[in-house]
Structure 1
Amino acid sequence: MMMQTPLVLTDMVKRAETYYAHKEIISRTSEKKVHRLTYGQWVKRTRKLAHALTKLGMERGDKIASFAWNQHRHLEAYFAVPCAGAILHMVNIRLSTEHIAYIINHAGDKIILIDEDLVPLIEEVQSELKTIEHYIIMADGELPETTLPNVLSYEALLEEADENFAFPEDLDENAPASMCYTSATTGNPKGVVYTHRSLVLHSMSISMVDTMAISERDTILPIVPMFHVNAWGMPFAAVNVGATQVLIGPQFTPALILDFIEQYNVTKTAGVPTIWLGALQEQEKRARDLSTLQEIFCGGSASPKGLIKKYEEMGVNYIVVYGMTETSPIVSMSRDMSHMNDWSLDEKIETRAMQGLTVPGIESSIVNENGEVPWNGETMGELRLRGPWIAAEYYKDERTAEAFSDGWLYTGDIAVRSKEGFIKITDRTKDLIKSGGEWISSVDLENALMSHEAVFEAAVIAIPHAKWQERPLACVVLKEGANTTKEELTAFLEGQFAKWWLPDDIVFLTEIPKTSVGKFLKAKLRESVNEIYPQLQL
């Protein structure tokens, strides 16, 4: 028999306090302000935050929202809230205001922590928020003028709090610790709740040599936002092993990313392909010293092989990763295996461009109507997953049955398996579009367009884009005798969707090709569009 010690986030904080108090967290909070604090200072501030929130009425099981960029105060909330027994709800700032209001209300958030420059977004929805009791603004100086009620200063609260506040000793490893909502492919976003146990195990997983190999020796720069899928778990893992963290803050640019890599000797970084396309273009304009950078982790959408090759030729390992909100998120990675050592670079890149080998601890299966697909790189099926950091349900959502069955998460991604066992995503169910790492629903856009009085039919498809990987293109058939313009239809959509959802272009057609049962034949439609947009092919 073994000791039954719980896997809880409080142990990560204690470890950082004990062994890594001298290590640094570098945090940019504005264009001109960069903070440098040690883990020892960060732990004291984290305990203070837990105490301050508790004094405000935070109780076990309460939901506390964060609405913030990648910076040290957000990292303090990552641990202060769950270590006190409550649940941190990281609100995606890129959602539409309608969805922001929905998820805050659906979660039942009691308090919200807001970055100073994001206050206007919350002001837009404040009249719709039903459960928020306190608005805490995270600012370096004076608080901005605001129409929000019950506003408090983050730093003022910490000044009055106890740096020796003791976290409860009886936390259950299966207790909820944090939650995120999906990006809403169709309908409203769906909530996913992570437990202490799942976050600890995920952190240990991405510290393994054959995964992200995050260690005390590393300086990590997560470009993937902390408000989206736990910043791929990197902040949790970094605290656990004592890695130096560089948090880039608001409104960053490719130039700033490269400057930070050079200035702070970053060894590992992570983000979507759009980020690395922009950084590559910036590096070609003005080269920085990237000699410390060992690895780039990239996910969210497919990485062009040419992009992977460019970084590999620069001496930077470019590792494709795969995951989703429901999976905490890391599921698989495209690291070379030992038998690939003698392969040519081009041969390796063919494999590197795949979504990779399932990481230890996760079981993956690709199935179709005939059962498990063979490992031939050709036979397609739906990818399903199970493991200790895979969700088992959506939070208070009847759509749970659509994705979870027989102990598996059905991802909705269509994939093949290579002979090495690598997963390769080949298509998506429901014709989703992924732009800059975020999902866009073609069905939602189509339904909105077809609600316009001049539109008879509308089909929305993905077109390749040099920067965003994919962008939506709307193909519209007008009603007989009706008339409208691209500008009018775009304006019609603007009030219903986030700006980045809007189609890049609207093409007027006389008819949309259909299958024998009357469904839009989008494969045929894409062939026609490729002739119109050849310059966008990657």
Structure 2
Amino acid sequence: MHGLMMNTPLLTTSLLQFSAKYHADTEVVTVSPKGQITRCTYSNLYKRCKRLAVTLLNLGVKPGDRVGTLAWNSDQHMELYYAIAGIGAVCHTINPRLGDHEIIFILNHAEDKLLFFDSVFENLLGRIRPKLNSIDHIICLKENKYLLSESSEVSVESENVVGPEGSSFSWPDIDENMAASLCYTSGTTGNPKGVLYSHRSIVLHAMCSCLSSSLSFSTDDVILPAVPMFHVNAWGVPYAAPIAGAKLVMPGPNLDGESLFRSMETEGVTIALGVPTVWLSLLEFLELSGKKLSSLKRVIIGGAAVSESMIDEFELKHGINVQHAWGMTETSPIGVVNTLKPKFKNLSRKEQMPVKIKQGRAVYGVEMRIVDDNNQDVDRDGVASGRLLVKGPWIISQYYKTEKTALRADGWFDTGDIATLDPDGYMLITDRAKDIIKSGGEWISSIGLENACTDHPSIKQVAAIGVPHEKWQERPILICIPQTNELPSISEIRTFLDSRVPKMWLPNAIFWVNELPLGPTGKVQKNKLRKSYEDCLLG
């Protein structure tokens, strides 16, 4: 027997339509690359989306067509999110931090029909335009206008293609399982792979984000996503904030500490999301300037492990709560969020810290397992480690344009992460499978070694990698950015770490550098470091 409830499709346009009706005056604030501020309301944004949808149809966009965006966080980029998907097409966000050849590959692989770009990328478009195979129109986002370039050369000197039509426009009927958004993985081990999100998966993910056991967005919040809209849809914030009725602050490309501080103070930001490298920059600015954040209550950190020292600096110096989270492009991305269970809330900070540094517990909708090499579930003791598997309604099943499933034979997705799970359900990433250091039959966690190093006063940032060793197969080395002018020797570092990590983990060498190679999402590119230092312990 079936239930007798309405079968209303879960469509992305319903998210913005809801906010336009019930949170009409709530603002979306955009900071331009030059620092200029523009404001619009959810009500106005929704009207503009409908006008843009009419324009897309007039330009020949059909259901299933891919429409590319090469843009920073802004209200215009948010319009594109909703207008493109709303007519049944697919919004394909492209990372401008990638190399030209990768961007060309992604655009041609996706077969984008239209490409929207921020005016700051005019030179980039000029370089890659001759090598794009499927683009019919290139449209520039400039000063809240959409400027069409019909020639093979990229030009932004044209008329606004979005007219006043749209007030009477009605969104077409769409199956909730139709594709709405396309993001490509960073491609560290080959060409980037496309992850295709459906309307249903995006809406469910947005609803989950608002749960108190998840990101806990509410009408009282002012949210600043310091994670770009081309990185897993800015972690879903442009979809979740509207239904929460939260004010949005789009910071554009300027994610240095001073720019973030200015945006946060001007707009009264209460929640900010980003990777650790962004927060290092903010904390450094606060330290040097002596300034304090007056409104920020919580930072949500993902993309890489957060250190105890960063948690301490935010919470003890600035009174800002740190919330750890985990996800990936293939998980939309929210899979795990660290919210303290009631039994931990009255503990001392020292007693809470072993829990707070973990990625957290699975949110509703995501199932999680950790298995050993024999595909058996490991003990939930917080010690036994294995491969992290997930499944759920916003988890990938297949990569775009591949015939092969992305899942194991048992229907679970293998994340490629090595993790532990404790009796309370808190998951801790101990490493990426490819970054585990295998030495003399033992596994050394590069993340665990890095976290132990962050307490050293001379180390600002560190990457631990395994390099070939004649006797031990691999041994760990450290590549560090210094915090001070004093550069400790390897023996001094080993002495410092001696009581903090197992003896087998003590590094064989340390190298001091001015910067670490970062990928387009802000993560350290350890594959490049391994290549650069592969012979350092041989001969």
- TM-score by length of structure 2 reads 0.80
Per the TM alignment, residue 6 of structure 1 is displaced from its structure 2 partner at its CA by 0.8
Alignment pair present for 1:57 and 2:60: yes
Match runs of 1:506-521 below 5 Å: 506-507=532-533, 509=535, 512=538
| Distance in 2, Cα, partners of 1:317 & 1:506 | 38
Residue 51 of structure 2: aligned partner: 48
1:413 to 402, 417, 437: 417
Tell me the SS of whatever aligns to 1:322.
strand
Structure 1 residues 288 and 171: CA distance shift in structure 2, 3 A: farther
Tell me the SS of whatever aligns to 1:269.
strand
Tell me the SS of whatever aligns to 1:431.
coil
Tell me the SS of whatever aligns to 1:412.
strand
2:166 to 155, 163, 168: 163
Superposition RMSD in Å:
3.2
Alignment pair present for 1:387 and 2:389: no
Alignment pair present for 1:223 and 2:226: yes
Match runs of 1:119-130 below 5 Å: 119-130=122-133
| Distance in 2, Cα, partners of 1:295 & 1:46 | 31
Alignment pair present for 1:238 and 2:241: yes
What is the letter of the counterpart of residue 393 of structure 1? Q
Per the TM alignment, residue 79 of structure 1 is displaced from its structure 2 partner at its CA by 0.5
What is the letter of the counterpart of residue 87 of structure 1? V
Per the TM alignment, residue 503 of structure 1 is displaced from its structure 2 partner at its CA by 4.5
Match runs of 1:93-132 below 5 Å: 93-132=96-135
For residues 168-199 of structure 1, give each alpha carbon's deviation from its aligned partner in whole angstroms, at most 9, with x where no partner exists: 34111111000100000211001000001000
| Distance in 1, Cα, partners of 2:328 & 2:177 | 21
C-alpha contact 1:393 1:404 (8 A) present in aligned 2: no
Tell me the SS of whatever aligns to 2:161.
helix
Alignment pair present for 1:138 and 2:141: yes
- TM-score by length of structure 1 reads 0.80
Residue 337 of structure 2: aligned partner: 333
Alignment pair present for 1:347 and 2:318: no
Per the TM alignment, residue 425 of structure 1 is displaced from its structure 2 partner at its CA by 0.8
Tell me the SS of whatever aligns to 1:419.
coil
Per the TM alignment, residue 289 of structure 1 is displaced from its structure 2 partner at its CA by 4.1
1:295 to 298, 301, 322: 298
C-alpha contact 2:90 2:182 (8 A) present in aligned 1: yes
C-alpha contact 1:367 1:381 (8 A) present in aligned 2: yes
Unpaired stretches in structure 1, ≥5 consecutive residues: 447-458, 469-492, 514-538
Structure 1 residues 135 and 467: CA distance shift in structure 2, 3 A: farther
Per the TM alignment, residue 426 of structure 1 is displaced from its structure 2 partner at its CA by 0.8
Alignment pair present for 1:198 and 2:206: no
Match runs of 1:101-500 below 5 Å: 101-140=104-143, 148-149=152-153, 156-158=160-162, 160-164=163-167, 166-313=169-316, 314-370=318-374, 371-397=376-402, 400-401=404-405, 403-431=407-435, 463=478, 465=480
1:27 to 27, 30, 39: 30
| Distance in 2, Cα, partners of 1:336 & 1:169 | 43
1:72 to 47, 70, 75: 75
Structure 1 residues 10 and 307: CA distance shift in structure 2, 3 A: same
Per the TM alignment, residue 461 of structure 1 is displaced from its structure 2 partner at its CA by 8.1
Aligned pair count reads 466
Q: Percent identity of the aligned residues?
A: 35
| Distance in 2, Cα, partners of 1:64 & 1:37 | 24
Structure 1 residues 230 and 165: CA distance shift in structure 2, 3 A: farther
Structure 1 residues 59 and 21: CA distance shift in structure 2, 3 A: same
Structure 1 residues 271 and 210: CA distance shift in structure 2, 3 A: same
Structure 1 residues 354 and 15: CA distance shift in structure 2, 3 A: same
Structure 1 residues 416 and 49: CA distance shift in structure 2, 3 A: same
| Distance in 2, Cα, partners of 1:213 & 1:189 | 32
Per the TM alignment, residue 499 of structure 1 is displaced from its structure 2 partner at its CA by 13
Residue 460 of structure 2: aligned partner: none
| Distance in 1, Cα, partners of 2:366 & 2:534 | 46
| Distance in 2, Cα, partners of 1:157 & 1:510 | 57
